[in-house]
Structure 1
Amino acid sequence: MTENNRKKPSGLIKQPRVVPELPDKTVIKEQKTKLKEKQADQESVKKINLNQQSNIKVSLNTKQQIDILLKFSSHKFAYELIDSMIDNYVDTALDVDQKRAFKTLSKLISE
């Protein structure tokens, strides 16, 4: 090998210039429509699940008791049974002022 081949290159390594290109307008429009569709899908999912805001954690024994009561009652779902139990509790266990306060707070929360 000659001395010229062993010599390290001096200065910067020359690379070809990179020129960015703008994407087609149709590609941008397609991406925007896909984004809008995803947002619409997410909003519809949120609207569908408004009834199921949170879960209530109960013991296994309480869950079994609710299941037994569902078999004896005319209710199909646990939330219907719980609603009727709340109504019964409000009617029998609360005094007049507590009933009024409960109904007022329930209306404020539901709005």
Structure 2
Amino acid sequence: MGLLGHMFGGLRMKDPVRGTAQVVSCNGHRGHGVTQNCRMQLVVRGDGVPAKAIEHSGHVHLKRWPSPGMTLPVLVDRANPNRVRVEWGDVESLAERARRGAEGLVASIRGR
């Protein structure tokens, strides 16, 4: 793979498994771009991958921008847990998260 492939997250995983990444921190988005670079501190884990703190960055669509405390679906490389690919297509949009949060608040107010 060429230099550009490595620069844009094209590193191949030797032993990828499904896992999760807990967002510890991330930068905010700025301006009006549809996608922006997001730098995150994550704790990743997966089948055969013990919890590991990593720093991860990549381009993220503003509709799926993460926030601290979120759990993201990922592929993590058992051979090198620093290699992670977030499955952004499986992440709830901001609108979906807001709707779910509002419904939870209504349910707690009503005592359900």
Q: Shorter chain as normaliser: what TM range?
A: under 0.3
TM-score, length-scaled by structure 2: 0.22
Going by fraction, where is strand more abundant, 1 or 2? 2
Going by fraction, where is helix more abundant, 1 or 2? 1
TM-score, length-scaled by structure 1: 0.22
Question: Which structure's relative contact order is higher, taking Cα pairs within 8 Å and 6+ residues apart?
Answer: 2
